[in-house]
Amino acid sequence: MYTIMIRVLWAKQLSYSLLRNRGQDPESFQLLGQSNHLLAPRTEQSSFSFLLAHRTEQSSISFLLAPRAEQSSKINIDEIGYRTLTIPETLPLLLFVDMDGFRHDYLERLDQTKIPNFRFFIDNGVKARCVRNIFPSVTFANQMTLMTGLYAESHGVVQNNFYDPVFNETFYMEILHQNFESKWFDNGGEPIWATNEKAGHRRHSGVILLPGNLAPIKGVHQKILLNSYLYNTTEEIPYNFRIDTIINWFIDSSNPINFGVLYFPEPDESGHYFGPDSKIIDEKIYELDNALGYLRHKLEVHGLFKKINIIITSDHGMVKYQNKSVNLDTILDRSFYRTVSEGRNVVTQIIPKPGKEDLVYKTLLKHQEGMYVYRKGSQELRKLHFNDNRRIMPIVLEPKKGWIIGNNDTIAKFEDKGLHGYDPQKVSDVRPFFIAYGSSV
């Protein structure tokens, strides 16, 4: 069974027609917020995914709010089988603000008088209890999910670091040139910024520092911040400079964007270094609140604030490291296998040497005190939607909450006090937050 995803449709009637045409019951869908234009499956869960994706047979359920069009013209849309689609003369504007590693409950613990800008967007918009992100709850995988609506097994960016057996190469997020190579990112999934650009009719996209945004995808070259080499080196770029850049893109006189992504590396980095319970996390959030205030001011100065829809969210949350580890050197001979890790000693993929797969798997099964052991093709990995991709190795290890997986060398050097990567269904602390504001909310 698969989910029918819906392209950007600015008309409620056409949305219902498309659902009926595809055998979906419109009565089982509901409007998100006060939007009259985009439908989401009814659910009793208060947490939800929220991206717009396109029609696909391998997708997580993801949606994006779409604004009302006051004036419209018509164009032919052949691919969905309808003669006309209403689009606005004045393009709808959407700004997607991504704050890395922002746990769903961080705001609740703070002095609310010190976060007036977060409070403004919550009080005048909507806030979800949390977002149900994907496994593994790491940055590159979830950022691509945010932009495509696909699970990691479908968009192919399965971890921060991953091995591709066809290329016989490993992608490492820290290697600069790999971040410019489409082969790592253009694997079937189409980011919303690419979809927006391909739609034409004066639609343009701009992305500030989001992981995976440097390489062309589907032949699309969106606007990027030229020195946005790597997501984890961006803390040197001032927040206000990022905001000024994306505002300038929205007001550009020749080719203004109508969809923008604005990325901030905190509170993720501080969460790793100091742990999610540290007061330093609170200080970083106060800094982000100041950035939101500056963003509000710039939008108002340029007459955009009442026209734009804003989503503020994150890729994952954070868990406190419990100083517990699974040492593979005490379980297996290193000559029997090699590993692919996401870089923080959490989810680890195992590549057994030829003829050793059964031995490695059965040996690992005997040592599950601090980890879950999955074999490719198993029901567990299929349930996690982390199975059907060549970049997923024969054995996948997931540590239990607060644990890490490593060997004598990596465990001895491990210094992080905060972790993520765990299955969000098992560990709710890795779920991020979600706020939306605008005329369509």
Nearest partner of 368 among 412, 339, 331, judged by Cα: 331
Burial code (b: 16+ CB inside 10 Å, e: under 16) for 397-422 equals: bbbbbbbbbbbeebbeeeeebbbbbb
Tell me the C-alpha distance between 217 and 222, whole Å. Answer: 9
Q: Is 365 strand, coil or helix?
A: helix
In contact, 421 and 137? CB cutoff 8 Å: yes
Please list the alpha-helical segments (H only) found in 22-174.
116-123, 139-148, 152-155
Q: How far apart are CA 40 and CA 208, in angstroms?
A: 28
What are the E-state strand segments in 155-307?
162-164, 169-171, 205-208, 223-224, 259-264
Judge whether 418 and 338 are in contact, CB under 8 Å.
no
Place of tokens 């003669």: 83
Catalytic residues: 139
